[in-house]
Amino acid sequence: MTRSDYDGPALFSYGFRPFFLFATAFAFGVVPVWLLIWRGTLLLEGPFLPVAWHVHEMIFGYGAAVVAGFLFTAVPNWTGRMPTRGWPLMLLLALWLLGRVACAGLLGLPAMVVMGLDVAFLVAVAAMIAREILAGRSSRNLKVLVPVTVLTAANVLYHVEAMQSGTAPYAERAGIATLVFLITLIGGRIVPSFTRNWLVQSGSPARPVPFGTFDAVALVAGAGALILWTVLPGSDVTGGILALAAGLHLVRMLRWLGVLTLGAPLLCMLHVAYAFIPVGFAAASLAAFGLAGQAAPQHLLGIGAIGGMTLAVMVRATLGHTGRDLISGPALNLAFLAIAGAALMRVAGMSEVFPGLDGIHLAAGLWTLGFGVALRHLMPWLTRPRVQPRKPSRAARRA
């Protein structure tokens, strides 16, 4: 049977389906588990210290699954080939799940074996993506493997650091930095593109500024700032470059006219999530100069930018690729606001401005609420066949 003849479960009919579903479910469940560990109610006998396990799973568990889902959706568009379906996706999902179980210490395996099982997922993703790109004679798109390779290397480094000292600060920042750079690169293309399309459909004469020299400069500055933040987070030079990158990315997003999308929540979500990047850069700059803690930028970028953008992209891609109107609805709008609120509450809880604020529990509750609502909506869309094509409703213009 060829890929075009696939008649198996809808969940494995397209790459985004299993990974978006399990990433959302994982995000929903893993934070309450972490909260139990943090409170001392639950103990995991894994290769990581509790905080290191929490950070690792958010970056290389949740984040890697979303990246895989996105790539397996985008590559068929680049190559013109049928999407990867059926048993290859099942095996890849099983490998991802095996990594999660192993990292939690539930298999009782040595740290080196856990590392091998965990890293194997991203290696397999890279190999499968490379095969599809080469088979489709689209070698120019092999460059997408660079961030995947960097993320894989950061995962290896995380395990090595954790084996040596129990924590992995360099790999933690490297993982966050890689995902943030992907957002500046890919999000920097899709956000203004979607915004332009919506403004045209809405009859507005306004248009986002197209990609140009300024965007290239912002990308380079952002990449440089992220590299410096990874290796020298407390340097004055790092603080200066981060401040520059914050300013450039703030101007960049303002040029996309996000303020005009307030009436289109599904689109506005993308702009709000991107806004956490300059905010996170600014917080990292303050931390480099000793004016703030290092945890603030990690949570602004990790929860606000990565969590917010991935949720928004998963919702939008799922709606579009399953034949539904691009309308989020009140519940999913609430879900996204909950994720943005989680980022703000987590950072506010660290500040002396809000004494007594339980930022950890508030953030955990909002995060779990957001992804719980998202899971409730995404599950039937991702596990059922694509709906029959129909003419988009007028309400879809408000997406």
Give me 252's structure tokens.
Answer: 């960049």
Q: What is the pLDDT of residue 188?
A: 93
User: Tens digit of pLDDT for each residue in 134-153?
Assistant: 988 888 888 889 999 999 99
Instruction: Check whether residue 138 and residue 215 sit in a common domain.
Output: no
The SS3 assignment for 357 reads coil
Examine the domain organization and report whether 214 and 147 are in the same domain. no
- The answer as to whether 283 is a domain residue is yes
CATH code for the domain of 205: 1.20.210.10
Contact between 65 and 121 under an 8 Å Cβ cutoff? The reply is no
Distances (CA, A) of 12 to 74, 83, 378: 16, 10, 15
Mean pLDDT in residue range 280-308: 97
Measure the CA dihedral 349/354/358/363, to 10°: -50
In a domain, 389, yes or no: no
Residue at a domain's end among 167, 186, 219: 167
CA distance 178 to 345: 24
Query: Is 4 within a domain?
Result: no
Is residue 218 situated within a structural domain? yes
pLDDT > 60? residue 1: no
Shared domain check, 324 and 187: yes
Q: Which of 78-92, 291-305, 349-363 has the highest mean pLDDT?
A: 291-305
Same domain, 214 and 269: yes
Cβ atoms 312, 275 nearer than 8 A: no
Question: Which tokens go with 216?
Answer: 């290239």
Q: Does 305 lie in the same domain as 281?
A: yes
Q: Is there a single domain that holds both residue 19 and residue 50?
A: yes
Tell me, what's the pLDDT at 384?
95
H-helix or E-strand spanning residue 241: helix 236-254
Is residue 147 located within the same domain as residue 184? no
Q: Is 110 within the bounds of a domain?
A: yes
24 and 173 share one domain: no
Which tens digits make up the pLDDT trace of 234-250?
999 999 999 999 999 99
Residues 161 and 173 in one domain: no
Tell me which amino acid residue 274 is: Y
The residue among 348, 352, 336, 192 whose CA lies nearest residue 272 is: 336
Report which secondary-structure segment, H or E, holds 320. helix 308-321
Residue 113 shares a structural domain with residue 221: no
Residue 326 structure tokens: 């691009």
Mean pLDDT for the stretch of residues 151-159: 98
Same domain, yes or no: 73 and 146: yes
* pLDDT of amino acid 141: 84
The two tokens of residue 251 are 């101007």
Supply 157's token pair.
Answer: 């480094």
Q: Are residues 135 and 193 in the same domain?
A: no
Whether 390 is in a domain gets the answer: no
Paired tokens of 258: 């996000």
How many domains are contained in the chain?
Answer: 2
Neighbours of 210 (CB within 10 A): 10
- pTM value? 0.94
As a whole number, the mean pLDDT across the chain is 93
Residue 349 structure tokens: 């809880």
The amino acid at 319 = L
End position of a domain, from candidates 167, 195, 222: 167
- Domain hosting residue 67, numbered range: 9-32+41-167
Q: Say if 1 falls within a structural domain.
A: no
Two tokens, residue 338: 């909950």
Boundary of a domain, candidates 125, 141, 167 = 167
Q: Of 362, 261, 345, 343, which is closest to residue 305 (Cα–Cα)?
A: 343
Report whether 293 contacts 287 (CB < 8 A). Answer: yes
Q: Of 251, 225, 252, which Cα lies nearest the Cα of 239?
A: 225
- CA 63 from chain center: how many Å? 5
